[in-house]
Structure 1
Amino acid sequence: MAFTFICNTSAMEEGGMGLFQAGKKSVMLVWPKGSELKAYRGRCPHADVPLTDATFDGQIVVCPHHQWGFDGASGKCVTHIVRNVLHPYPVRVEGDEILVDVGLVKPPRPAAPPSS
């Protein structure tokens, strides 16, 4: 496993959510109330759209595109009878750093040069 630094522990608190980048990959961290810190792919498994504007009430992540809800602790869809689940990533805390194994991390693409 190749764990990648995502953020410092000070960026997260119980009941909170944050979206971060690991190279080209979007990582959503959620810390459900009364549970453990979780890491998921930052895209909706139903519509494959970014969860940039998702909401989290301390238990449920709600996708802003179709209002599908996902349990923050398990990743399972809780608003529809489907098998869609948030894609989990292994997560660990070392000292004051949150690390996630997202697989091979490719750097983001450089910005395109301005056209003349």
Structure 2
Amino acid sequence: MAYIPLCKLRNLIEGEAAPFNLDGREIMLLWPEGGELKAFDGLCPHQHIPFSRGVFNGRYLTCTAHDWVFDGRSGECRQGEECTLDSYPLRVVDGIVEIELA
């Protein structure tokens, strides 16, 4: 599958999150402080609540529905059931963040 343009890199800030809906999929971009930009499934695996309602503190993403907590660097669940968020490949080309939806 091909990479799809998502946003301009300059519109993102390290330590923050940005939700997107792309081709009917909820995507959550996380840029952990001191880490790399990551793209994860934008729905909590617990009850499929959109992470756009969640809280990202620069390292951990918390689903506000039931307080499940995910590591912004790996997508691993730190509080809740053992699971890992699905991730998507990213690249930056000429200042544009592109994502590959598999």
Calculate the TM-score normalised by the size of structure 2.
0.93
For 1:87 and 1:93, the matched residues in 2 are separated by: 20
Deviation at 1:26, TM superposition (A): 1.4
Partners of 2:82 and 2:94 in 1: CA distance: 35
Query: Do 1:45 and 1:87's aligned partners in 2 also have CA atoms closer than 8 Å?
Result: no
Number of the residue aligned with 1:93: 92
Deviation, 1:83, is 2.3
**Paired residue for 1:114?**
none
Q: Give the aligned partner of residue 30 of structure 1.
A: 30
State the partner residue of 1:56. Answer: 56
The question of whether the paired residues in 2 share the 8 Å contact of 1:46 and 1:84 is answered with no
Structure with a larger share of its residues in strand = 2
Structure 2 equivalent of residue 47 of structure 1:
47
Question: Where does structure 2 lack aligned partners over 5 or more consecutive residues?
Answer: none
1:9 positional shift: 0.5
Counterpart for residue 3 of structure 2: 3
Once the two structures are aligned, what percentage of the paired residues are identical? 35
Q: Which runs of 4+ in 1 moved over 3 A?
A: none
Q: Distance in 2 between matches of 1:102 and 1:11?
A: 21
Residues 2-52 of structure 1 show CA distances to partners (whole Å, capped at 9, x for unaligned) of 111111112211101000121211110000011100000110012222112
The number of aligned residues is 102
Shift in Å at residue 63 of structure 1? 0.5
Note the alpha carbon deviations across 1:65-108, whole angstroms, 9 max, x for none: 1111000000001113x3221111111111110011113xxxxx
Larger Rg: 1
**Which residue is 1:102 aligned to?**
101
- TM-score (normalizing by structure 1): 0.82
How well do the aligned residues superpose, as a CA RMSD in angstroms?
1.1
